[in-house]
Amino acid sequence: MKGLQFYIISQYFLPDINGDVIRLLNSIKALKRLGVNLTIITAFPHYPSGLIPPKYHGKLFVKETWNDIKIIRTFILPLPHKGFINRLLLYLSFTFSSTIAILLERNVDIIWAFSQKFFSYITGLASKLLHRSKVIVDITDIWPEAIVNTGYIKDCSFLFRLIKLFMCLLLKLADAITTLTEAMKNMLSSWGINQNKIFLVPNVIRLKSESTMNNKSQPVKKENFVVMYSGNLGSNYDFKTLLLAASKLRHYSDVDFVIRGEGEMEEYISKFIKINKLNNVKLDRKLLSERELVNYLKKADVFILPMKKCPYPDASFPIKFLDYFSLGKPIVCCAEGFLAKLIDKYKIGIVVPPEDPDKLINAVIALKKDCNLTKRMAKNVKDMVRHFSPETLEKAFQEVLSVML
């Protein structure tokens, strides 16, 4: 595969961090081990605040190098990543600038249209037309169903049908499709997409629980039972149910909740804590290095993943789930669909229905009172980890690239 010119289109890249960037970094490692020559076309740093560093002001492109990989940074509007209109404008501005950037390149053999959603697919297909490149489309959220889950559109709307039609067209034009789970593959094949060109390229574990360092960050008192959420504070998570459960558990003086991260729900969470005087809930916005994050997460006794009740639970798969079970701690998950079945299958946590704070409370108390249960679940995690190892990712890419050559 040496000499293969492989381009990745991703709106997000370091120093911006989100689930897409984590998946991209793991994928880069796998592709480099396979000897692929990589170029990344990405936006100016902007996520999530919309604040673009001065060095990029007034420019359309900036070329950089990162770990011997060519990076082409392109223009994006300086808007915070909040609300449907802002997001749409961000996606469109990057689509415009990244399409110009890819059309100016030469010898583009393969494009992985990675992020953001079908907007990057447009850039990839433009190169397919001009350069006759092979295009791989990465599906980590199935649009438009995933947008319905967030509440931005309805599945009975004209916009839903329009996006669905456009997505079907783009996917049928792609040479290959990568996605995360068998459930997502089945959803895509139900659209009439050829199953033979859909490949599973799963997210893999990035955090190593054996990492150690002195960490001054103490989220809560060590003797307390800690229920922790860590990750993007986005609108696709049900923080209302989590906070209602915490409110009802305030009489347990030795149960504390930690919500760590950044995102558009910060203000809502902060106000809820203040108005309801929740002394048992800590909102922590500190940015941490990977090693600091590992030590921070080790403070948890239980992780919580509060997915919203939605019509299409299998349209997405949260990457923070992997961070959680990589630390060997039980997970209380408000979910339905594939994610709920996965947790039940491997017995690594307790699944409760979304939007049910009372059952969420029961799950937390059950784990608090039964240390043998938490130990059994921690042991079960070891059996599951192998399915999400970096080696799995490398094998998946070998399979995809074999049909591209």
Between CA 62 and CA 75 the distance in angstroms is 9
Collect all residues with Cβ–Cβ distance below 8 Å to 112 and sequence separation of at least 6: 6, 7, 8, 9, 27, 124, 136, 138, 178
Asked if the peptide bond before residue 15 counts as cis, ω within 30 degrees of 0, the response is yes
Residue type, 239: F
Q: Which of 1-15, 161-175, 203-217 has the highest mean pLDDT?
A: 161-175
pLDDT on residue 325: 77
User: Between 292 and 246, where is the model more confident?
Assistant: 246
In angstroms, the CA 35 to CA 44 distance is 27
- pLDDT, position 319: 83
pLDDT in tens, 94-116: 999 999 999 999 889 999 999 87
Is residue 47 pLDDT above 50, yes or no? yes
Residue of 384, 393, 308 whose CA lies nearest to 343: 384
pTM: 0.84
List the structure tokens of 357.
């704070």
Residue 6 or 218, more confident = 6
pLDDT of residue 213: 37
Cα end-to-end distance, the chain, whole Å: 9
- HSE of 356, CA atoms in CB hemisphere, 13 A: 15
Q: What pLDDT, on a 0 to 100 scale, did the predictor assign at position 271?
A: 97
Residue ranges of E strands in 261-393: 281-284, 302-306, 331-334, 349-352
Q: Cα separation of 135 and 8, whole Å?
A: 10
- Contact predicate 195/189, CB 8 Å: yes
User: Which domains, and CATH codes, for the chain?
Assistant: 5-204+389-404 (3.40.50.2000), 225-387 (3.40.50.2000)
Residue 361 contacts residue 241 (beta carbons within 8 Å) = no
Query: Are the C-beta atoms of 40 and 8 separated by less than 8 Å?
Result: yes
pLDDT 10s digits, 199-212: 999 888 776 554 43
- C-alpha to C-alpha distance for 353 and 309, rounded to whole angstroms: 8
